[in-house]
A and B are shown apart, each in its own frame.
Chain A
């Protein structure tokens, strides 16, 4: 296996886990990105959430400046499809109380049964969607 397949994901995952642990340590909060973004809009406790969001953007910009290869990919679907998909993700993650970061990265290591249920259901429905769109309808 080439290092792109396992080493970069492993290092990246460790950094994600480290940042989630640091947030729990300093802020006592779970690093759920969709929850942080919606909280920045819909709660009054926004300062820490907004600083994380700005950090997320600046961190990506930094990686792009140092090694743009990490962002060297093309979107194969039209923008309005992505907007629709984003809307569904936003609705679903609020309904399910979290996304990949909150339930996957933070919930599973805490042995949260609610997070396990969420991860299994979004992975399963994601796999079905990819199967349908790629292998049955052959759209993607």
Chain B
């Protein structure tokens, strides 16, 4: 039973990470690129994650 729940929790995390765009290394680099075209997306991911 625990194994099923943990599997589903893992799947939910992966779906969230894929939808958030953070599976794309360029999005992560864009967030860290404060002296180029800064991409704030990770702020929304962390914000969305913290408000549950």
Known: A13-B45, A16-B45. A55 touches B8 (CB 8 A): yes
Question: What is the minimal beta-carbon distance from B40 to any residue of chain A, in angstroms?
Answer: 7
How far, in whole Å, are A124 and B13 apart by their CA atoms in the complex?
Answer: 25
Bound together, the chains give a CA A101 to CA B10 distance in angstroms of 12
- A interface, how many residues as a size bin? 35 or more
Proximity string of chain A (90-108) to chain B, C-beta cutoff 8 Å, 1 when within and 0 when not: 0000000000010011001
Show the binding face of A for B, using Cβ within 8 Å.
4-6, 8-23, 26-27, 31, 33, 47-48, 51-60, 62-64, 70-71, 73, 75-76, 101, 104-105, 108-109, 123, 126-127, 129-131, 134-135, 140
Across the two chains, which residue of chain B brings its CB closest to A52?
B10
Chain B residues with CB under 8 Å of A14's CB are 16, 48-49, 51-52
Closest approach, in angstroms, between the C-beta of B17 and any C-beta of chain A? Answer: 6
B10→A51 contact, CB < 8 A: yes
Question: In the complex, are the beta carbons of A22 and B2 less than 8 A apart?
Answer: no
- A123 contacts across to B, CB distance below 8 A: 32
- Taking CB atoms, residues of chain B closer than 8 Å to A17 are 16, 48-52
Closest-by-CB residue of B relative to A31 is B13
Q: Which residue of A lies closest to B2 (CB)?
A: A48
Structural contact, A140 and B29, CB atoms closer than 8 A: yes
Q: B10 and A55: CB pair below 8 A?
A: yes
Decide yes or no: A60 and B12 within 8 Å by CB, A20-B49, A135-B35 being known contacts: no
Distance in Å: Cβ of A83 to nearest Cβ of chain B: 14
